[in-house]
Every structure is written in structure tokens, then in C-alpha cells.
Amino acid sequence: MNAPLLKVRNLVKEFGNFRAVSGLTFDVDLHQVLGLLGPNGAGKTTTLRMLSGFLTPTQGDIFIAGCSMREHPLTTRSQIGYLPESVPLYKEMKVSEYLSFIGGLRGLSRGGIKKERERLLEDLELQNVSSRLIGKLSKGYKQRVGLAQAWMGNPRLILLDEPTSGLDPEQTVEIRMLIAKIKETSCVILSTHILSEVEKMADRVLILNEGAIAASGSPAELSRRLAAGKTFRLAVRGAEEKIFEVFDSMPEILSARKRFEKEGILYFSIQTGPEKEIQPQIVQRLVHNGLELIELAEEEAKLEKIFLQLIH
Amino acid sequence: MKKLAILYIQELKNAFHSYIAYILLAVFIAISGFFFVTLSAHFSLISQQWKAAPGIPEMNFNLTEIVLTGLFVNVAGLALFFTPPLTMRSFAEEKRQGTLELLLTLPISDTEVVLGKFFSCYTLFVLMILPLWLYPLLIQQAGGYFEWATVASGFLGMLLLGASFISLGIFISSLTTSQVVSASLSFGAFLFLWMAGSLENVPELEPLIWLGNFSMLEHFKSLARGILDLRDIVFYLFFTLFFLYATTVRLEIRSFRR
């Protein structure tokens, strides 16, 4: 089995008496997208700033491909592409000029810069603005230029702080697709406070709260592991009172709610306890009482719900 | 070194993207030219007066001292005003735009970043004072005699003074996110260092007389007169290196927030 690309060990960051990040330990593999999720002040940006080499950790260390960031800061930084939340760019530079500048500082040869610049202009659809001043571009284009500089030289670890912040839905989808593309060659760590984003983009999620890991796993795993109970969606044909009588007769069903009625079919949402596998019993009872079951499906618990449970 | 060169070239390009660099260069050269003309006219006037007045004992009017040393001292005073606009952008603007966070996460050392910015500002400064070489040549063309060694010493003094001002200006720029604050503080600091020698004239400030050792003017005066004192040269070099180092330390602390 391959060693993880990124190893973070007991990472701590203190600003005076304030501990912004406290003892983070996690690994990330190549071709994986890790989402850092948490409310404002959870330590996401501070964590990314430490991973990027901008801030030095108070304690702990970061290893990229086995190389310690404390001992070899320049070597490790050469494997990192970073896009801060504010998308800082030199407004007075042209797009292609800026990408060449970043390529040069990443130590690429003249030929390498040209090749990478062409690749990025094509992949990020920036060809038609390549000779325009960055300051004159729209927010969506600026975001793409920011992503392009992070991807310049194809670093193995790409850090994106709130990459879809302030973008419209169409631009958000474009960035999501680009992240999927970057993942083919690199490992991506992104921070966000938007749950739906992390669910769509990340293979793994770290939920941060007050600088510590509150939970980790894939979005689906987290949903399963941390769900307080199960929610089922039912569609039944029959008398409403009779259906509710069946639900009331089952102590495993904690609550039942009629959602709507359409063409003689009643749609319900029911909550059960966490462990019980009660689908067979529901089917049996409904059929036994002469009711026609059209649909019975389990609803996956939303990450939002888990998130709120963890931080409160 | 390659990365330092890339940063240096880009910094220079950025400076010339705006009109500020052109305006500074043009105004500085124009004012220094004005100083040369007035000092030459002054020299011409007093030498003619001496010739026209019989009975005055023979005097040796030194063209180099009156015109060129005077020019160097005046132009050095002008640098007090023209160096802050050169350095104010260096870090303050990067911090305001947030680009410093990105720059410092690239595989380039903090020392290279500081030196790249220092050399680009210094190049602009050298471009400003470069035309000073033309004035002795003009005097020579007009048949005047002057001492080349004094000119070289004065020019060296200007180069050393400029390096000191720029290193301090860059350090001050790293302390703030505002170009205006950076320029104002730099000007205040330069003015104090220029005038520090005057403290000995104020009896009430006697405990601060030692600060006079840091007077840029006092160290410059002897170089402008053609006196090459190693202590003056070491003072400027040490001052420059100290503030370049202080700026690097400032970047390494990275406690700043946008």
C-alpha cells in the first residue's frame, strides 16, 4: 500500500493565549479530495495556512511525501499550490504574464513554463483573456486565474480556501469540475462552510470545531455513523386514519408525518430509532391491514444535520 | 538566484506599469539639474566678483567643492523626499492585496523576496542619480577643472545613502498595509536620521546626543567632500544590512493580518 501523500501530526497553532488549532492529526492520499468543514473560526483557514507553509505551527509537523515541512520548507513548498480565500492576484499583470511569473518562482524551466502556461490556459478556458490585465477580469475569471496559479507546475498538493465563495451557481459547477480534474494528478484539500459543496466535491471530510477534529470520514460514512435515527419515505394507498393507526401501533416508529397526497396515494415521512431494521415489519403490518404499499425508501441523513449535532 | 532575478525583474516591471516611476525619475532629474544650474551660476558670480574687485587677496575658488560637493549634498537632501515613494509599495501593497500570503508560500526564501524588492527599488534610485555623472562632464566640456576622485567619492556616498534609505523604507513598508502610512513614516525616519547631528545644538536634549552618531548627513558630508573614511562606509553598509535582516525577520514572524 502506498504511503499517504500528506501526513499531519499533532498540529497546533497558538496566537498568544488563543489556540486556533489544537492537535490535528490526519493523512491524505494522492488523488483524494479532503474537505475541511466547520463554522467560522473553526480553524480551517489557519490549518490551510500552516499546510501551505505560510504560518509555522506552534507544535507538530507536516510531511509531504515523507519530507518534513519544518526541516525542508522550500522543498515541501515546491510541491504545494495554494489559493487563499480572497484570491489575491497582481491586478496590474496580464494573465499569461502572471502565470509565467508564478511558474518561474516555482523553479520551472523556460520551456516548462511555456508548456504549463498553455496547458492551464486551455484547461481553465482562459485563452481569450490571456493577454488581458487581471484587474479587468470578472470574479469568475479571477477565480480561474487563481486556480491556474495554484495548479501551475502540477504540484502534488493543492490547497483551496473556500474556492466557490462568492461565485454564482454556474461558476460553482465549473470550479467543481475543475477540482475533479485536478484530482486526477494531485491531492486537493479544500475548506468550506457550505455543506452541500463538500458533499459534492470531497471524498473525505474533516469536520472542525474550535480547532479540533469533531468527526472525519466520507460524506456517506459520516451520514451513516452519526445519524441519530433513520428517516423513511413511504407511499401508501389507503385510508389515512388506518395508516396512522398502523404507525401508532409500532413503538419503533418515533414520529410520522404526512407530506402530501397525489392521485389517491399518500406520501409519509417517518422517523425510527437508530439501529432497528424495521422495514420488513412496516411492510408486513401495512399489508396485513389491507393497505397497498407503493414505496418504502430510507433517506440518507444530511451532513448538515450531523454538522449541527457535532458543533452544538 | 534565478528566482531572485525573476522577482527583481517583475518588481521593476510593476514599478513601470504605473506612471509613478516615470514621474519620480523625471522630477528628481529635473530638480537635481536645477541645483546644478544654480550652483554653477553662484560659482560664476562669486568668481567674477572676485576678479572685478581689486585689492582682495588671491583666493583659490574650488569648483569641485562649491558646485559638485554642494550638488551632492543638495541631491542627498532631495532623496529624503524621493525615496519613500520608491519603497512604500514594496510590502504594504502586497499585504493590502493579500498577494504576500501567496508569495511567501511559493518555493522562494524570505531573504530572496526581501532582496528582490530591495534591488528593484535600488535600481530605480540608481536611475535617478545616474545623470549626476553628466554634470562633471558638462563642466569639463566647458573647460572647467575639477577633481574626479571627489566626484567618485560623492557618487559612492549617494549610492550608500540610497541603499540605507531603501532598506529602512522597505522595513517600514513591511510594518503596515497602507502605502501612505509607509511613505509618511519613512519620510519621518529619514528626516530624523538626516538631522540627528543637530541634537548637540539643543542643550535640553543632551542625553540623546549619542543619536547623532546615526546622522546620515554627517556621514555623507565627508564622502561628498572626497574624504573616504572607512567608518562612514561601514556605517552605511551595516545600516543597510541591519534593516534588510530586520525585514526578513519581520516576514518570518508572519504575525500580520490583512
Report which listed range, A29-38, A194-203, A205-214, A275-284, is most confident: A29-38
Residue B61's pLDDT band (cuts 50, 70, 90) = low
Q: Map residue A50 onto helix, strand or coil.
A: helix
User: Which 3-state string (H, E, C) describes A52-74?
Assistant: HCCCCCCEEEEEECCEECCCCHH
Q: Best mutation site among A105, A149, A158 for testing chain B: the one with the most B CBs within 10 Å?
A: A105
For residue A33, pLDDT over 60 is answered with: yes
CB within 8 Å of A164: residues ≥ 6 apart: A171, A172, A175, A176, A192, A194, A197
Average pLDDT over residues A125-148: 92
So what's the pLDDT on residue B65? 74
Chain A environment of B6 (Cβ under 8 Å): 101, 104-105
pLDDT, tens digit (0-9, with 9 covering 90-100), for B162-178 = 999 999 999 999 999 99
So what's the pLDDT on residue A300? 61
**Cβ separation B104–A53 shorter than 8 A:** yes
Largest CA distance in chain A: 78
So what's the pLDDT on residue B92? 93
Q: Among A56, A84, A93, whose Cβ lies nearest the Cβ of B102? A: A84
So what's the pLDDT on residue B257? 40
Spatial separation of the C-alpha atoms in residues B238 and B243, rounded to whole Å: 9
pLDDT, tens digit (0-9, with 9 covering 90-100), for A85-119 = 889 999 889 999 999 999 999 999 999 999 999 99
Q: Give A86's DSSP letter.
A: T
- CB B22 within 8 Å of CB B16: yes
**Cβ separation B107–A84 shorter than 8 A:** no
Q: What average pLDDT does the structure give for chain B?
A: 86
Q: What's the start-to-end Cα distance of chain A, in Å? A: 38
Residue A32's CB is within 10 A of a number of other CB atoms, namely: 18
Element (H, E) at A217: strand A212-217
Cell numbers that stand for B237 in this block: 553598509
B257 touches A: beta carbon within 8 Å: no
| CA of A146 vs chain B CAs: smallest distance (Å) | 10
Burial of A16 (0-12, 13-18, 19+ CB in 10 A): exposed
Q: Where are the domains of chain B?
A: 2-257
Burial of B49 (0-12, 13-18, 19+ CB in 10 A): exposed
| CA of A18 vs chain B CAs: smallest distance (Å) | 13
- CB B65 within 8 Å of CB B225: yes
Q: Which residue of B has its CA nearest to A152?
A: B106
Cell numbers that stand for A87 in this block: 484570491
Closest CA to A48 of A87, A23, A9, A21: A21
For residue B258, pLDDT over 50 is answered with: no
B102 touches A: beta carbon within 8 Å: yes
So what's the pLDDT on residue A156? 94
Amino acid code (one letter) for A236: V
Average pLDDT over residues B20-28: 90
Chain B environment of A88 (Cβ under 8 Å): 97-99, 101-102
Q: Among B10, B97, B105, whose Cβ lies nearest the Cβ of A101? A: B10
pLDDT, tens digit (0-9, with 9 covering 90-100), for A49-62 = 999 999 999 999 99
B249 touches A: beta carbon within 8 Å: no
What residue spans of B130-256 are helical by DSSP H?
134-141, 148-173, 179-195, 216-224, 230-253
Element (H, E) at A24: strand A18-28
pLDDT above 90: percentage of residues in chain B:
48
Burial of A3 (0-12, 13-18, 19+ CB in 10 A): exposed
The alpha carbon dihedral of A279, A284, A289, A291 has a sign of: positive
